[in-house]
Structure formats: C-alpha cells, structure tokens
Structure 1
Amino acid sequence: MTSSKNTNSPHLENNKNSNNNSNDFQDDWSSFISEHSQDFNDIEKSKSAKEFEKHAKREDKRNIKRKEEEARKNAIRNLRIEREIFLSHGPRDNIRSSWLDVDDTMEEYSDDFVAPNPHFKNIRKSVVILWLVLLVGIAGIITSAFIPIIASIAATISIVFIIIAGVGLLMIRKDRHDNNDYSDYGNGARV
C-alpha cells in the first residue's frame, strides 16, 4: 500500500513545494496572525460577523435544548419500558404466558403432575340428597332477597334447610373411613 502524501503539511521536512522558509508551524501561524490582524479586526467588527455570532449562539441554545429534550424523552421512554415489563395495561400488552395455557405451563413447571380424574361411582343417596337440600336452601335465601312478600317465610325455611344439610354433610364426612394405602400413617399428617 502507498501512504498518503500530504504536500501541504508544514510538518514535512522534505516538502519541496512549500513556500515557507521556516520549519516551525507555530512561528508561521503567529506571523500570519500579525500580518493580517487589521483584517481580522475588521471582520470581527462587521455586521455579518455579529449576525453570525448571534446565529451561532441561537443554534447552540437550540442544540442544548434538543439534547435535553431527547434525554428527557429517553428517560421517560426507559421508565415506560421498565414499567411495561412488570405491568401490562391490557390483554394485548401481555407478553408473559397465561396460567390458562395449561399444556405449556405444565410442561414448563412440572413433569410429574397428573390431572385429577374423580369418579362418581359409589356415591351414597344420602350425600346427594343433603347436597340438594343445601342448594335449595341457598336458592331460597336468594329468592327471599328478590321477592319481599315471601321473604320471611322463604328465609326461615331456607335457613332450616341449610342447617340440616350442613350438619348432615358434616356428620357423614366425620364417620367416613377411607381404606387407602396410607393406613400406616394413621390419621395424622405425613412428613
């Protein structure tokens, strides 16, 4: 590769095309300033120089304001982004997976989960009747709230149904003995 040849550089020692008699750049610059000092003073005091100075100051102020505004906008944007990472505003802003995505969630968090599969084969008739009585009692309370004419009678009967069904379900649950594989542990908690 060839190097760049700057023939105008005052620092080159072998500059044959140079009209300078001295090798010192600072001396040359000082002599140029002193020779043209009157011209520089005239230019400095001219109307166009003053207008240029005002224009330059205005542009500097605009640039400073623009940089401050950009910094403020970037700070606000960064705060907004950080807040949106943790708080989403609506369903379309949510980037995290929902707990309703059961397949993905189960695969991600646990491999040994087995969904419950209850069987309703050996349900006693007394349990079904007590649950129906409890539901009728709750429906009666709701009905008495909407129909004030029969409120006192319906509420009284509904409360009696709820009490009978609740006590009956508790008594049936209390007498229940399960024959599970956990009989070694007794009725206490497994540790």
Structure 2
Amino acid sequence: MTSPKDTNNADEAADEWKRFEAEHADDLSDISQSRNAKRFEKRAQRQEKETLLSADDLTPDAFADEGPASGRGPRDFEGSSWLDADKVMDEGSDFTPPNPHLGHLDAVKVMFWVLLVVGILGLIATVLVPRLAAVLATVFGLCALVGAAGLITQHRGHTETRSGYFDDGSRV
C-alpha cells in the first residue's frame, strides 16, 4: 500500500525532474539531436524489428514429429519397393501394361524417314569415294533435305491425343 508520505515523495521527485528539464532544456535538445542519439535510435528500432523467434530456440521435435503418428515423412514409406514389381504384379494389381502396338504406318511418312536415313548414311559414305564426292554429296544431301523437310511438314503436334478441352496432354 502507498502511504501519503510515498505519494508526497513521488510528487516531489516529479517536480524536481520537471525543474531539471526546464533548467537544462537547451542541453537536452542538443543531445537528442546529436549524431550518437540518432544512431542509438536507429539501432533500437532495428532491434525491435528483429525476429522474436529463431530456429535455435525450437526443440528438435518441432521439426520432426516423434510422437505416435511418426513415420509419415517422405522417406518413411513402408509399402512395396519398385524392386518388388514381379511380386506386386502377381498379387492382382489393377495395373494395365502399355500397348506397344504402333498402329497403321503412313507410307508417306515411312518414305520421308527412308530418304532422311539414306541421305545421312550416303553423306557419311561419300567420304570413302573421293572421285565421286561432288556428285554423291549432292544426291545424298538432297535426299537428306527432302526427308527432313517432309517429316517436318508432316508433323502435326501433340494435340491429337487430347480427349477434352481441359486435357493438357500429360500422361502417367
């Protein structure tokens, strides 16, 4: 409890402080506007902005759950390994293997592939026949160019496999 005497002392101390401020107002204003005071203020503001919590303040179980529900991390999978593919396939999985059937081959596309391959192989073989190099290089170069140009013009993109508007073409 505060007695009247303590209240009186507090009032006297406040009055004395006000008198001190009034007497030294010029000195106090010079000090508050000094370079050191501004540096101190900036440093105090910087310390207020610093993080209140760092990773060093946390215990290890804040990062890795060691309770009864542990074992759910990305490397804690206890199911089957990809090495057990034969065992998994024998268990009756609903996995459907891919269909390697290429379907109908377009004769024009096959012809362009043949021209491209013959042209490239012919250009490589032209090195072995130096007397006919000019004629063979011209013939095989044209074959390679016609084959490559034909394949480029036949290419229609990757949109023909899409099944709907929202199908972006990715397959699993």
Using CA pairs under 8 Å that are at least 6 residues apart, name the structure with larger relative contact order, 1 or 2: 2
Normalising by structure 2, we get a TM-score of 0.39
Normalising by structure 1, we get a TM-score of 0.35
Is the radius of gyration larger for structure 1 or structure 2? Answer: 1
Which structure is higher in helix share?
A: 1
